[in-house]
Structure 1
């Protein structure tokens, strides 16, 4: 963890450039490597094909992001990270927002480690004091 998951309406697929968004999002998270393990960062987008926004009259669109993190971080850290991530989103989608109706939103989901199951050998690439091979 953290996982940054975006749902977006299919009517912005060609303009959204999620690869660039995720590059910037991951930079924000990687810069906080004392808060989040780099090897646990995941960013992904899920296209939504069936939706209705507001009255359905315009070709409205939305981008809704969820940041999922494990419990235990301070309110100050959570706010600072979420503020930084939402600024990236606002900047990234500013052109789209100036040219169409678009709703941007983001929420934080914090969960207990109890009930989650993980196996990840990516972490070993980022451990400096471990005797594991680094490729």
Structure 2
């Protein structure tokens, strides 16, 4: 964790560099530090996943509507200030990629951050984290 999942109307792929957006969002996440100078998100655990909705209905269906919904799921323990800084920063990246299409037709953009405060199981098995946790 953290996992940022993008769900979007498939028509956006004609107007938005989705892969570039994913990389820009991941890079942004990795650039955040808390009040003590510690990285907010672990490099090896940072994921941005994007999925076009196979089926959707947007608003009244009378126009060429689109949407992008972004949900960031993070573990508990970060301050409200960190939540706000991360959210504002990620929203700015999303706006940079989405504004050209938003300015040309009706498209909704939503970013939500959920904190896992009642986690009942967190199993992990990874060869990624050791690549970034080396101390030498």
Cα separation, 1, equivalents of 2:120 and 2:132: 25
**What is the match of residue 4 of structure 2?**
4
2:99 counterpart residue number: 94
Deviations 1:79-115 (A, max 9, x none): 1101100110011111111111100001011114432
Superposition CA RMSD, Å: 1.4
Matched residues, number: 130
TM-score where L is the length of structure 2: 0.89
Give the corresponding residue for 1:108: 113
Q: Mind listing any 5+ residue stretches in structure 1 that lack a counterpart?
A: 131-135
Q: Does 1:125 align with 2:121?
A: no
- CA–CA distance in structure 2, aligned partners of residues 91 and 13 of structure 1: 15
TM-score, normalization: structure 1? 0.90
Quote the residue 1:17 is aligned against.
Answer: 17
Give 1:128 shift: 2.8
Gaps of 5+ in 2: 34-38
Which of 43, 49, 62 is the matching residue for 1:38? 43
